[in-house]
Amino acid sequence: MKILAVAGSNSETSINKLLVSYAASLIENAEVEVVDMNDFEMPIYKHQREVESGLPQEAKDFVAKIDGANLLLVSLPEHNGTYSTAFKNVFDWVSRIKDRTVWNEVPMLLMSAAPGARGGAGVLEAATKRFPFHGGNIVETFSLPFFNDNFDKSAQKISNEEKDNELREKIKKIATIESILEK
Ligand SMILES: Cc1cc2nc3c(=O)[nH]c(=O)nc-3n(C[C@H](O)[C@H](O)[C@H](O)COP(=O)(O)O)c2cc1C
């Protein structure tokens, strides 16, 4: 099984990258690639840029990685109640690629980690509503609030037992989906 773990952040100390990497580590016998938005940094989307120069190579690189995966683990930071600019820019560019959807129906575990109580509820709601219009096949969602209390950075794992069990249960369910196992 090939897993693409996507952190929708460009922070060098991204908590969403820590969460998505941990989630990927829970799946046995998988080939995992972890990416973040620094890997696909592009100029801010602008109509004239697209007309004059076409799509940046990084947008094509992003979808090539999606197409090569059987399972997507996506963890999005919440900025002012919604997507980070870094993620939204990649999303916007990729949505301009003709004759395909962004997520190409690859099964997805959609997550968010946040330092506060709401655990990225705003960005999860935005993505849960919007991604299906872009080929998003969201099988489960998972939110980790109070990241600094609930994640042990030195052990690289969720320290809150209840949240850890919730994630493990969701991953167990996803990892047994036939269409994922077949590939
Ligand atoms: C511009 C900005 C806006 C933010 N807005 C929110 C917010 O609306 N809700 C929230 O829970 N955290 C918010 N935060 C805190 C982020 O959740 C926090 O920076 C987190 O580490 C982002 O995830 P990352 O480390 O994976 O980039 C904001 C941070 C920044 C820099």
Question: Which pLDDT tens digit goes with each residue over 96-140?
Answer: 999 999 999 999 999 999 999 999 999 999 999 999 999 999 999
Residue whose Cα lies nearest atom 30 of ligand 1: it is 79
Q: How far is the CA of 116 from the centre of ligand 1 (A)?
A: 9
pLDDT given at position 183: 55
Q: In 3D, which of 125, 127, 174, 121 has the Cα closest to residue 143?
A: 121
Rounded to whole angstroms, the Cα distance separating 144 from 140 reads 14
Q: How far is the CA of 39 from the centre of ligand 1 (A)?
A: 20
Q: How far is the CA of 77 from the centre of ligand 1 (A)?
A: 6
pLDDT surpasses 70 at 7:
yes
Residue whose Cα lies nearest atom 1 of ligand 1: it is 79
Chain position carrying tokens 């036939």: 178
Q: Show the tokens assigned to 26.
A: 């829970």
Q: In 3D, which of 111, 91, 122, 92 has the Cα closest to residue 163?
A: 111
Residue whose Cα lies nearest atom 3 of ligand 1: it is 79
Beta strands in 47-170 (DSSP E): 71-75, 107-113, 137-144, 151-152, 157-158
- Residue 115 carries which DSSP code? S
pLDDT surpasses 70 at 58:
yes
Rounded to whole angstroms, the Cα distance separating 91 from 65 reads 14
What is the percent of the chain where pLDDT is above 70?
A: 97
Residue whose Cα lies nearest atom 21 of ligand 1: it is 15
Task: Determine contact, residues 80/44, Cβ cutoff 8 Å.
Answer: no
Average pLDDT, the chain: 96
Burial label, 79 (beta-carbon count in 10 A; 0-12, 13-18, 19+): middle
Give the ligand 1 atom nearest the CA of 17: 26
Give the ligand 1 atom nearest the CA of 18: 26
Distance of CA 9 to the CA centre of its chain: 9
Contacts of 83 (CB under 8 A, 6+ apart): 8, 76, 91, 123, 126, 127
Distance of CA 94 to the CA centre of its chain: 14
pTM across the whole model: 0.97
Q: What are the tens digits of pLDDT across the range 166-181?
A: 999 999 999 887 666 6
pLDDT given at position 20: 98
